[in-house]
Amino acid sequence: MVQYSIIYDDFQIQGKQVGRESALYIWVIQPTGEITFRQVDLKPLWQKHNASLTSLIVGNQEFLAVRSRSSLGSTQPQLDLPTLHQLLIEPIASLLPKDPNARVIFIPQRSLFQVPFPALLDANGTYTIFLKM
């Protein structure tokens, strides 16, 4: 089981107090009951790339046409599944089962409910998680 929590903090930006995503907490609970914690710093997303985890998710939804056409703005959405993979899967990849028949339960929070986890690609274009029918 994998549980995610998005952590928000207040930051002083251009003289104003602004709430922004600052970290992603990830807990992996193994079938044995062992719990492992990982933390991902989300500040570089908005500090260097003027993006947020939520904006990445919405951009991917728009690209994949999950959202209605009327919600598209003037900018073209960009598919960025590798970045989502880097943020959500890479920190815990070594903790995920190697058996392709093993089940993984994701417990997301907020905008993470909209993430297409089986569609996340690593930098090599490989799917880490396979959806069994």
Strands (E), the chain: 2-13, 16-29, 35-41, 106-107
DSSP class of 74: S
Asked whether the beta carbons of 27 and 43 are under 8 A apart, the reply is: no
Q: How far apart are CA 76 and CA 65, in angstroms?
A: 12
Whether the predicted pLDDT of 131 surpasses 70: no
Place of tokens 């079938």: 31
**Least confident piece of the model among 37-41, 55-59, 73-77, 83-87:** 73-77
- In the structure, what pLDDT confidence band is assigned to residue 128 with cuts at 50, 70 and 90? low
For the segment 55-83, the average pLDDT, to the nearest whole number, is: 55
The CA–CA distances, whole Å, from 131 to 22, 93, 96, 121 equal 30, 16, 14, 13
pLDDT on residue 40: 94
The yes-or-no verdict on residue 123 having pLDDT over 50 is: yes
**pLDDT tens digit sequence for 4-42:** 999 988 777 778 877 778 899 999 999 999 999 999 998
Q: How far apart are CA 66 and CA 46, in angstroms?
A: 24
